[in-house]
């Protein structure tokens, strides 16, 4: 997606260790118009893959929420964000999976209330980054536990050097990403 | 907003201590279509109050993000979610304010990168609940520190018994909420 590639080139900041900071439009400040257009590309790409009826779009709090919400809206689906911490309102029973976040350097549990994922659901998993695939794998385990069908995975930015796409191969679901970034001795490279 | 009142009556669960669980459409599973209509009512209500040009919509992660995103989209503004925890990408300098969350029983810091709030900005603050006003007061302090203008506050659900509206009076900004809930010996009451 050329518009996204240009935003990453213009605003992304390589802060070392393979981490690019895109907090001016993706994960602290969020550009709603860009988010809507990214969600439309994801929606249309899944249609082109033959993925049509979707009932749930699943992400992990926090930074996947804006894109997941807009993709869910376009599919007429409900959006679910897996919780990472307990709150007093979490009185139900939950699917739980462990994920290790590289940017935060911590391992966390992802939790989804069992009321919201059922065996008849058709699910897309959405997140901001496809890097090592750890969060996405954990989300896929939640879907698997519920018996729902995983119909596809989409992320805004892919880091092919971290191998996440290979990790996700076993899931046998189409994977869509909107921009790929890689780093070498010349710095940051961005492509569609 | 009658549609929201009905959803709270149908799906809200009073789990004791004045806390109502609305995780089937507001803060775990999210209904994107309802979210869009709530954002439209908030947008139109601010227009009716004479609040027109808005450049930033500010919320706190996590549960305010969906509504804040949709309100920002309708105003053509950027959305910012204040961060509650540090991540490795937070390399800038931040406005910081302390807030105490009642549902989580913890005090937390809210942080906004100084690049995203400037003295010329016109800001709306959006969150899911207006209860004690602690989170909203902290967000307002972030806006105040930046020198930007606070133009209004909107929340999805208000709990008038917790006095948040009175706490926010000094901010001298219009306050819009879409449903009011209160508890007495007969249980949960919901009104527009």
Read off the CATH number of the domain in which A138 is found.
3.40.50.2020
Surface of B (113-132) touching A: CB under 8 A: 113, 115-116
Q: What is the pLDDT of residue A85?
A: 82
Distances (CA, A) of A156 to A65, A134, B21, B189: 12, 16, 31, 42
Classify strands B122-130 and B187-191 as parallel, antiparallel or unpaired.
unpaired
Closest to B84 in 3D by CA, of A140, A80, A87, A79: A87
The total domain count for chain B is 1
> pLDDT tier at B116 (50, 70, 90 boundaries)?
very high
> pLDDT tier at B104 (50, 70, 90 boundaries)?
low
Dump pLDDT digits (tens) for B13-68: 998 888 899 999 999 999 999 999 999 999 999 999 999 999 999 999 999 999 99
Q: Does residue A135 come out as left (phi exceeding 0), alpha (psi in the -120 to 50 range) or beta?
A: alpha
* B110 pLDDT higher than 90: yes
Mean pLDDT, residues A36-47 taken together: 98
Range of the domain at B72: 2-191
- CB atoms B36 and A73 under 8 Å: yes
Measure the CA–CA gap between B106 and B116, rounded to whole angstroms: 26
Q: How far is B131 from chain A (nearest CA, A)?
A: 15
Measure the CA–CA gap between B26 and B42, rounded to whole angstroms: 15
What is the complex's ipTM, to 2 decimals? 0.95
Token duo for residue B114: 């100084």
Q: Using CB atoms, pick whichever of A28, A76, A104 lies closest to residue B88.
A: A104
Q: What is the pLDDT of residue B144?
A: 98
Dump pLDDT digits (tens) for B137-190: 999 999 999 999 999 999 999 999 999 999 999 999 999 999 999 988 888 999
Q: A45 or B103: whose pLDDT is higher?
A: A45
Give the residue from chain B lying closest to A36, CA to CA.
B73
């Amino acid at each position: 997606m050329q518009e996204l590639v240009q935003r990453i080139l213009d605003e992304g900041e390589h802060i070392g260790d393979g981490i690019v900071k895109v907090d001016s439009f993706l994960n602290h400040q969020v550009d709603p118009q860009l988010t809507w257009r990214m969600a439309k590309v994801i929606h249309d790409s899944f249609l082109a893959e033959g993925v049509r009826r979707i009932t749930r779009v699943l992400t992990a709090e926090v930074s996947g929420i804006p894109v997941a919400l807009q993709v869910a809206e376009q599919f007429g689906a409900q959006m679910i964000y897996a919780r990472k911490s307990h709150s007093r309102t979490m009185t139900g029973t939950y699917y739980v999976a462990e994920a290790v976040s590289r940017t935060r350097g911590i391992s966390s549990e992802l939790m989804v209330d069992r009321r919201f994922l059922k065996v008849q659901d058709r699910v897309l998993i959405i997140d901001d980054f496809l890097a090592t695939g750890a969060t996405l794998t954990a989300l896929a385990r939640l879907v698997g536990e519920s018996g729902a069908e995983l119909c596809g995975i989409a992320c805004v930015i892919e880091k092919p050097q971290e191998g996440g796409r290979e990790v996700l191969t076993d899931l046998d679901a189409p994977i869509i990403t909107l921009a790929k970034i890689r780093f070498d001795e010349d710095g940051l490279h961005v492509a569609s």
